[in-house]
Amino acid sequence: MTSTSTSPSSPLRWARHLWLDAGNVRSTLTPAGLERLEARVRESETRHRGELRLCVEGGLPAGALWAGVDAHSRAVDLFGRLRVWDTEQNNGVLIYLLLADHRIEILADRGLASQTPPDTWRQLTDALAGSLREGRFEEGLAHAIDQVGALMRERYPLRPGDQDRNELPDAVVVL
């Protein structure tokens, strides 16, 4: 997904955000698709010590629109609210989609971010954007989960005797 050219305060942007909601997310990613993505997150986390959260939001709440919040600011807010920053090894990742603005944000906590070149995140975002433009939402998100999982396996592998501690819920957050 790419940035739209609409200004943050435009009536068109307001209309898109007020029109799109969690129901639209569930139409785009069916309940069965959401379950498959949750299972993919859960399975990925059995192979590394990192934590992954996936959040898809139809449109921003009116208060956020009024305040001029953009996708990045909203992702940062959700990173905190969903406690992605609160993992033992600071290795959580949030994949956030804002459907109304056609924006993707991938935020990594400092433990993983400090070990990962910024271009890695850009490539991952670009690949996901390409899938979303083609209408392949579930497939694109599944691939993003796999790519983040591969990064975490490299940097935070489960070693013999390690117990997988699931520190955060695996369910897709739908707003």
96-132: pLDDT as tens digits: 999 999 899 999 999 999 999 989 999 999 999 999 9
**Short-list 103, 97, 113, 102, CA closest to 148:** 113
**With 60 as the cut, is the pLDDT of residue 141 above it?**
yes
Least confident of 2-6, 57-61, 157-161, 171-175: 2-6
pTM assigned to the model:
0.90
**Short-list 60, 58, 42, CA closest to 142:** 42
**Short-list 105, 114, 49, CA closest to 82:** 105
Average pLDDT over residues 82-98: 94
Distance CA 175, CA 167 (A): 21
Contact 45, 153 (CB under 8 A): no
In the chain, the percentage of residues whose pLDDT exceeds 70 is 95
* pLDDT recorded at residue 37: 97
* Architecture of the domain spanning 19-155+168-174: Roll (3.10)
In the block, residue with structure tokens 């305040």: 67
Contact 136, 167 (CB under 8 A): no
